[in-house]
Structure 1
């Protein structure tokens, strides 16, 4: 007899693989956002501090303001990506837990099937032995 929840087990397996892929993608997105944030920080710190005229001062102030606005956006994006990665990881853990529960049920089902098969075989062997023993006793008398 096949495992009655085999279809559900396959579905849960697919769901777990999809959740694992989404978690991996979310972690990669979070790493990319953090790298972009670090790049923005290093770019802002690399701006020249030598100011020769008022136009350069205004340009530098504008560049710093734009850079800080971009950095703030990147920090928000980075936080958002980390949150998404944590949620995706939680979803993967939940999907994995559901899959493992069904796999344990399948294992128990297979064990019961093997025990039943062994019992059936043992009964057949016992009956054969009893039948042969009866014939041997009958022919010896």
Structure 2
């Protein structure tokens, strides 16, 4: 019977941490894409705004719209920067979690290889014992 990997529980925990970090990374990348798309749409929409003022009230409306747009673009730029930062942090967390899991996975692979080698050695010894016993019985049978 093969001996269980003694760090199997810790390995499972590391794999769960890695999966969680991968999920966080995917969410951060999705947010980053979404914010970038929103920013691109806002800039495209601003390029389509008419800047012709026919009277004072339309001039004030254009000025207010430009100020509002500038504020909105500044907010989107800040949100983009924050999304980029969160994505970078999520990438670093995923890389660290993956590194912790990989070390234990390598230990598990070595453990399995060692157990398999031990099992094969034990099996070979049993086969040799059976073969030797049969040879001894055959030899004793021919002498008697």
Q: TM range, normalised to the smaller chain?
A: over 0.9
**Could you tell me which residue of structure 2 aligns to residue 117 of structure 1?**
119
**Could you tell me which residue of structure 2 aligns to residue 64 of structure 1?**
66
CA-to-aligned-CA distance 1:83-128 (integer Å, 9 cap, x gap): 1111101211111121121111111100000000000011111111
User: Unaligned regions of 5+ residues in structure 2, if any?
Assistant: none
Equivalent positions of 1:98-117 (< 5 A) are 98-117=100-119
Give the distance between the partners of 1:138 and 1:36, measured in 2 at CA.
Answer: 91
Equivalent positions of 1:3-82 (< 5 A) are 3-82=5-84
TM-score, with normalisation over the residues of structure 2? 0.94
Deviation at 1:43, TM superposition (A): 2.1
The root-mean-square deviation of aligned C-alpha atoms, in Å, is: 0.9
Give the distance between the partners of 1:75 and 1:37, measured in 2 at CA.
Answer: 8
TM-score, with normalisation over the residues of structure 1? 0.96
CA-to-aligned-CA distance 1:23-82 (integer Å, 9 cap, x gap): 000000011111111122122222212210011001100110111011011001101101
SS in 2 for 1:135: helix
User: Unaligned regions of 5+ residues in structure 1, if any?
Assistant: none
* 2:81 equivalent to 1:84: no
Give the distance between the partners of 2:142 and 2:13, measured in 1 at CA.
Answer: 63
SS in 1 for 2:54: coil
